[in-house]
């Protein structure tokens, strides 16, 4: 019975992870297809409207009580995260997609964990291990391959 | 490749690198939020809401001009793009709720390959997917897995 429960959680986790990968993967292609007659600024705002609706529904369904007990300081951090991730990150990501295409931009943007690891080493005093070194070298080589096409 | 095309490509990749850096920075901010204030799903929902308010305010003029003349097809495709990335975020956090990060991270990391597959299927007339892009993306994905397990 316990093993059956663990298996079920694992399969659910895998399916949800696949949904996440599919969502992230298709997002760039859909925006590239829709951006032919519109500026990056407008595309960013429209995509954020639908993103807000979906995430708000999920958040309210699963964390209704938590939302009403949030501290005011939390909202300052949410604003900071919103500015960095969406006014900065998504806008530049869409700009990149419009200039070099969804496939090349996605390959470069997917190097985010490398930057996160570098920032963690600088600000959180995390150590640089062999795996991080190998991963960094591979990401740099992979991106170079994507960038240098001609 | 002429000079203008080279410049466009250069700026495109520069923007992509800057986006990756900002997403990484937001992960640090996200860590602080989830450690001290709220669950990841609530943090995402409110960050996106405030991101919308900020982006909408900064680009209000352009958006109000263009939105009126935007085709239904563009509205639907860009709207679906926003839904897709929101499903990505939701799926990521919900998956972490039911299983370990060692299962979730490698599966989610393959998303650039899904983008390439979808681009080669649906963006045939708009962009060309080369062998070098596919090879580069596969190497980046493997590198991301190394970084993920290394940290």
- Is residue B78 a contact partner of residue A89, using CB atoms and an 8 Å limit? no
The rounded percent of chain A whose pLDDT value lies above 70 is 97
Do A91 and A50 share a structural domain? yes
Domain membership flag for residue A106: no
Q: In this model, does residue A150 exceed pLDDT 90? A: no
By CB neighbour count within 10 A (0-12 exposed, 13-18 middle, 19+ buried), where does B115 fall? buried
How confident is residue A112, by pLDDT bands cut at 50, 70 and 90?
Answer: confident
Chain B within 8 Å of A76 (Cβ-Cβ)? no
- Half-sphere exposure (Cβ direction) of B95: Cα atoms closer than 13 Å: 25
Last residue of a domain, one of A60, A77, A101: A101
pLDDT reading at B1 higher than 70: no
Residues A92 and A120 occupy one common structural domain: no
Do B73 and B123 lie in one domain? The reply is no
Distance CA A82, CA A141 (A): 31
* pLDDT, average across residues B112-141: 89
Residue B26 domain boundaries: 1-37
- Do A19 and A47 share a domain, yes or no? yes
Please tell me whether residues B135 and B120 are part of one structural domain: yes
Compute the average pLDDT of residues A12-38: 91
Same domain membership, residue B51 and residue B4: no
Claim to verify: residue A19 and residue A64 sit in the same structural domain: yes
Contact map slice: B 55-114 vs A, CB within 8 A: 55-56, 58-59, 62-63, 66-67, 70-71, 73-92, 94-95, 98-100, 103-104, 107-114
Mean pLDDT, residues A118-128: 78
Residues B14, B49 within the same domain: no
Task: Indicate if B43 and B79 belong to the same structural domain.
Answer: yes
Q: Are residues B93 and B114 in the same domain?
A: no
Q: Are residues B93 and B56 in the same domain?
A: yes
Domain co-membership, A83 together with A46: yes
Q: Which of residues 10-29 of A touch B (CB under 8 A)?
A: 10, 12-14, 16-29
Of A75, A84, A134, Cβ closest to residue B22: A84
Q: How many domains does chain B have?
A: 3
Average pLDDT, rounded, for chain B: 88
The 10s digit of each residue's pLDDT in A72-108 is 999 999 999 999 999 999 999 999 999 999 988 998 9
Residues of chain B with Cβ-Cβ distance to A129 below 8 Å are 150-151
Helix (H, G, I), strand (E, B) or coil at B109: coil
Residue-level pLDDT at A4 = 72
Both tokens assigned to B104: 């979730």
Q: How many domains does chain A have?
A: 2
Same-domain check for residues B70 and B18: no
The whole domain housing A26 covers 2-101
Distance from CA of A1 to the nearest CA of B (A): 17
The whole-number pLDDT of residue B34 equals 85
Residues B8 and B50 in one domain: no
Distances (CA, A) of A137 to A50, A113, A134: 37, 13, 5
Could you tell me if residue A28 is inside a domain? yes
Q: What is the ipTM for the molecules in this complex? A: 0.89
CB contact under 8 A, B112 and A144: no
What was the pLDDT predicted at A69? 93
A20 plus A79 within the same structural domain: yes
Size of interface A-B (CB pairs under 8 A): 501
Question: Same domain for A118 and A89?
Answer: no
A39 in a structural domain: yes
Instruction: Please give the model's pTM, rounded to 2 decimal places.
Output: 0.89
Q: Are B82 and A54 an interchain contact pair (Cβ–Cβ within 8 Å)? A: yes
B122-135 burial, b for 16+ CB within 10 Å, e for fewer? ebeeebebeebbbe
- Each residue's pLDDT tens digit, B61-75: 999 999 888 899 999
CA dist list (Å): B38 to A57, A66, A96, B34, B50 = 16, 8, 32, 5, 16
Check residue A41 and give its pLDDT: 95
DSSP B29-43: HHHHHHHHT--HHHH
Query: HSE-up of B57 (CA within 13 Å, CB side)?
Result: 9
Has residue B11 got a pLDDT over 70? yes
Q: Please check whether residue A150 lies inside any domain of the structure.
A: yes
A68 in a structural domain: yes
Distance from CA of B142 to the nearest CA of A (A): 7
**Residues A97 and A115 placed together within one structural domain of the fold:** no
> Are B51 and A35 an interchain contact pair (Cβ–Cβ within 8 Å)?
no
B34 in contact with chain A, both atoms CB, cutoff 8 A: no
Residue A18 shares a structural domain with residue A91: yes
Question: Of the segments B1-5, B126-130, B147-151, which one has the largest average pLDDT value?
Answer: B126-130
* A22 chain-B contacts, CB cut-off 8 A: 84, 87-88, 111, 114
Opening angle at CA A107, ends A101 and A112, nearest 5: 125
**Confidence (pLDDT) at B104:** 81
A139 and A91 share one domain: no
């Amino acid at each position: 019975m316990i093993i059956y429960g663990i298996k079920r959680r694992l399969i659910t986790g895998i399916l949800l992870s696949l949904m996440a990968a599919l969502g992230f993967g298709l997002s760039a292609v859909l925006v590239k297809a829709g951006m032919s007659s519109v500026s990056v600024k407008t595309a960013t705002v429209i995509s954020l409207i639908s993103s807000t609706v979906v995430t708000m529904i999920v958040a309210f369904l699963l964390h209704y009580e938590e939302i009403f007990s949030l501290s005011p300081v939390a909202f300052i951090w949410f604003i900071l995260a919103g500015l960095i991730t969406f006014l900065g990150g998504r806008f530049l990501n869409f700009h990149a997609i419009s200039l070099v295409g969804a496939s090349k931009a996605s390959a470069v943007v997917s190097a985010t964990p490398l930057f996160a690891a570098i920032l963690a080493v600088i600000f959180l005093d995390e150590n640089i291990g062999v795996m991080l070194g190998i991963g960094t070298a591979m990401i740099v080589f992979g991106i170079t391959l994507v960038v240098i096409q001609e | 490749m002429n000079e203008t095309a080279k410049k466009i490509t250069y700026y495109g990749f520069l923007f992509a690198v800057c986006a990756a850096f900002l997403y990484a920075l937001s992960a640090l901010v996200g860590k602080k939020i989830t450690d001290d204030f709220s669950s990841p799903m609530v943090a995402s929902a409110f960050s996106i809401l405030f991101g919308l308010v900020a982006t909408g305010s900064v680009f209000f003029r352009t958006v109000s001009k263009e939105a009126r003349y935007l085709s239904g097809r563009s509205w639907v495709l860009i709207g679906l793009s926003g839904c897709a990335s929101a499903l990505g975020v939701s799926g990521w956090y919900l998956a972490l709720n039911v299983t370990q990060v060692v299962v979730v991270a490698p599966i989610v990391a393959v998303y650039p390959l899904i983008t390439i597959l979808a681009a080669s299927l649906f963006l045939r007339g708009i962009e060309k997917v080369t062998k070098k892009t596919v090879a580069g993306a596969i190497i980046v994905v493997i590198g991301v897995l190394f970084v993920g397990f290394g940290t």
